[in-house]
Amino acid sequence: MSVRTRFAPSPTGFLHIGGLRTALFCWLYARRHGGQFILRIEDTDLERSTPEAIRQILDGMEWAGLDADEGPFRQTERFARYREVIELLLAQGKAYRCYCTKEELDRLRAEQMARGEKPRYDGRWRDRVDSRPGVQPVVRFKNPLHGEVVVEDAVHGRVVFQNSELDDLIISRSDGTPTYNFCVVVDDMDMRITHVIRGDDHLNNTPRQQNLLEALGCKPPIYAHLPMILGADGAKLSKRHGAVSVLQYRDEGYLPEALLNYLVRLGWSHGDQEFFTIDDMVRSFDISDVNKSASAFNPEKLAWLNQQHLMRAPPERLAEPLRWQLERLGVVGADEAKLLRIIMVQRERCKTLVEMAAQSLFFFSAPTSYDEKQVRKHVSTAVVDILRDLAGALERLGEWAAPALHSLISGAADRSGLSLGKVAQPVRLALCGGTVSPPIDATLAILGREESVDRLRRAVNEWALMIPPLP
């Protein structure tokens, strides 16, 4: 039987990294086994689900590249099917209508608590066939009264629940809408899900879901409940720790493969390998290597992995995301060949694409001012003269390529008895306005002859006017 997994987010908030990790494990497992990955939006909570959250989930999944073979399905489109299954269970005597009023249930609860018992529905309508006019009933599932429910969890191992601990679950509310655990079961059955991989906050729902599936004559899938992701301080992951929308990682200049690489290692390991391409993950991933204990989110490690991916990716892979970041900074129409050259010189120097874009702006527009402190530090009358000569020499240089540019500048430094840095820093200031840039020869090579000479001349002219106050 082919593996079928599903990711089933509730669109009540954005897709955050915990959800993305669940999606990743489901996707990887399906891909690893040549199976299908299904996306299902669990939007039955009409009050808390929003179209914006659905959009964000779909965009986040697309950005991450976790493509679904089926779906996105939406539970709100399946109400007729849920109704049908409820009627079936009623007809088979596996579910019943309960006409308890809210007051009655409140009283029951208060009495149980007064006796020191755990509050639970006591099954008082389980065997009744009458009704109560004027009360809209709920429908409850007849949970087995005795025995155990054994969940053979692929991560947690054998987990045993007592049926006596489970009361008769409401599967349809008095307004006729189906409830969460019930919809999950009908969907997992109809979508022929073979492996339910989800957060271990759902482990307690599993015995009820298993009982329901059995009542429907369906063999339960294999369950794998993933350990939580915690903040570095051990507390539940919150916004403060980076539990933000996954799209924020895109905006902050992370590569999806780096984020997925980071997430795959939260709760799963493959020897001590840290760096994984998507293909590596698909090849190596297995549920049996998922560990039970919660793992802590570590933003520094994510940044480190992002840099590793930036350094190892084919440069063509980085062109579009870099272009996107540059566009957000106002650079339009960057030429592909130029982007590739920038990537080659910048990628070892940046942890994110945001950094790379910010530090590459000068490749697209000349500085409008120069860092004054640095000008005072690096520019003198002698330097202005050297730079002026250099501009002329650059104009005449034969081949415009890094090695020739390097010899030209070091030659100029030698002739004036200065170190290479003493010449390179003011050149850098002239080209980019500050003193941070890739190696000067590579920077010149990318900027091109005309632009470089222009920028040098403009700086020299400006600085010459400042010379009297300079040291």
Which of 4, 195, 198, 351 binds ligand GLU (CB under 6 A)? It is: 198
Which of 9, 18, 267, 321 binds ligand GLU (CB under 6 A)? It is: 9
Q: Is 360 helix (H, G, I), strand (E, B) or coil?
A: coil
Q: Give the binding range for ligand GLU (CB under 6 A) out of 6-14, 273-281, 398-406, 416-424.
A: 6-14
The least CB distance from residue 82 to ligand GLU, in Å, is 15
The least CB distance from residue 53 to ligand GLU, in Å, is 11
Q: Please, which residue, 10 or 174, has the CB nearer to ligand GLU? A: 10
Alpha-carbon span 34 to 4, nearest angstrom: 9
> Running DSSP on this structure, what letter comes out for residue 433?
S
Q: Give the binding range for ligand GLU (CB under 6 A) out of 3-11, 110-118, 135-143, 313-321.
A: 3-11
Which of 32, 94, 126, 202 binds ligand GLU (CB under 6 A)? It is: 202
- Residue whose tokens read 């009982």: 211
Q: Please, which residue, 20 or 405, has the CB nearer to ligand GLU? A: 20
Catalytic residue among 239, 351, 373, 377: 239
Query: Which whole-number Å values give the CA distances from 258 to 56, 86, 88, 304, 309, in the listed order?
Result: 20, 44, 47, 9, 6
| Residue of this chain nearest to ligand GLU (CB atom) | 198
* End-to-end alpha carbon distance in the chain: 81
- Is there a cis peptide before residue 299, judged by omega within 30 degrees of 0? no
Alpha-carbon span 471 to 465, nearest angstrom: 13
Q: Give the binding range for ligand GLU (CB under 6 A) out of 8-16, 112-120, 275-283, 403-411.
A: 8-16
Alpha-carbon span 61 to 417, nearest angstrom: 58
Q: Give the binding range for ligand GLU (CB under 6 A) out of 5-13, 64-72, 247-255, 258-266.
A: 5-13
The least CB distance from residue 10 to ligand GLU, in Å, is 4
The least CB distance from residue 73 to ligand GLU, in Å, is 12
Which residues, 6+ apart, have CB-to-CB distance to 131 below 8 Å?
A: 97, 99, 137
Binding mask 22-51 for ligand GLU (x = CB under 6 A): --------------------x---------
The least CB distance from residue 213 to ligand GLU, in Å, is 12
Determine if 10 is a binding residue for ligand GLU (CB under 6 A). Answer: yes
Q: Please, which residue, 40 or 97, has the CB nearer to ligand GLU? A: 40
In 75-125 the beta strands, taken as DSSP E runs, fall at 95-98
The least CB distance from residue 234 to ligand GLU, in Å, is 22
Q: Please, which residue, 211 or 359, has the CB nearer to ligand GLU? A: 211
Helix 180-190 and helix 79-91, axial crossing angle in degrees, nearest 10: 100
How far from the centroid of its chain's Cα atoms is residue 298's Cα?
A: 14
The helix or strand, by DSSP H or E, that contains position 372, with its residue range, turns out to be helix 372-378
Two tokens, residue 86: 């409820």
CA atoms within 13 A on the CB side of 42: 19
The least CB distance from residue 206 to ligand GLU, in Å, is 9
239 is catalytic: yes
Q: Please, which residue, 184 or 356, has the CB nearer to ligand GLU? A: 184
Q: Please, which residue, 198 or 265, has the CB nearer to ligand GLU? A: 198
Which residues, 6+ apart, have CB-to-CB distance to 139 below 8 Å?
A: 86, 89, 90, 95, 96, 97, 98, 170, 171, 172
Q: Residues touching ligand GLU: how many (CB under 6 A)? A: 7
Alpha-carbon span 161 to 165, nearest angstrom: 8
> Running DSSP on this structure, what letter comes out for residue 268?
B
Which residues, 6+ apart, have CB-to-CB distance to 63 below 8 Å?
A: 246, 247, 250, 256
Determine if 8 is a binding residue for ligand GLU (CB under 6 A). Answer: yes
Q: Please, which residue, 10 or 298, has the CB nearer to ligand GLU? A: 10
Q: Give the binding range for ligand GLU (CB under 6 A) out of 4-12, 171-179, 303-311, 363-371.
A: 4-12
The least CB distance from residue 24 to ligand GLU, in Å, is 14
Alpha-carbon span 220 to 149, nearest angstrom: 12
Residue 226 · residue 197 · CB < 8 Å: yes
- Residue whose tokens read 């007051």: 103
Residue 24 · residue 249 · CB < 8 Å: no
Q: Please, which residue, 198 or 351, has the CB nearer to ligand GLU? A: 198
Which of 28, 100, 184, 386 binds ligand GLU (CB under 6 A)? It is: 184
For the annotated catalytic residues, the residue numbers are 239
* Interacting residue ranges for ligand GLU, rule: CB under 6 A: 8-10, 42, 184, 198, 202
